[in-house]
Structure formats: structure tokens, C-alpha cells
Amino acid sequence: MMTCLHINMETRSQRRKEAPVIISAAIPKGGTGKSTMLRTLASVALHRGYSVTLIDGDRRQNMN
């Protein structure tokens, strides 16, 4: 099964006061690209003027 995630990121001047968006990736198997995908999404959001907080809850290996 494949899941597709689409995020419409508007510029800071176009946004209205809205509730925060939470994106979570939870797959128990390691090495599937979760951290890489989330870092890339965070980077794009930052470049578009969003405030971003990353929280890594992986007990085995954290995001560097």
C-alpha cells in the first residue's frame, strides 16, 4: 500500500492565522527514509517562511 502526502505551502504573506500543521512518520522498520523525508519537508517549509520544529522520537537512532 502506498500513501501519498500533499502539502500546500503558501508564502508567509498569503497565510492566515491557522492551527499548526503536524506531520508524523511512523514505520517500525529502520532504514525506510523517514528521517530523510521529514528533514526535506522541514527544509522546504523553512525556505518558504514557516516556523518548523522537528522532534525525533526514535529510541534507537536520532536525527543528526
- Give residue-wise pLDDT tens across range 9-62: 555 555 556 677 787 777 777 778 788 888 888 888 888 888 888 877 766 665
Quick one: pLDDT at residue 8? Answer: 56
Residue 21, C-beta contacts closer than 8 angstroms, at least 6 positions apart: 7
pTM for this prediction: 0.57
Q: What angle do CA 58, 61, 64 make, to 5 degrees?
A: 105
pLDDT at 64: 59
CB neighbours of residue 39 within 10 Å: 14
Per-residue pLDDT at 25: 78
The three cell numbers of residue 10 are 503558501
Q: Residue 1 pLDDT more than 50?
A: no
pLDDT score at 39: 86
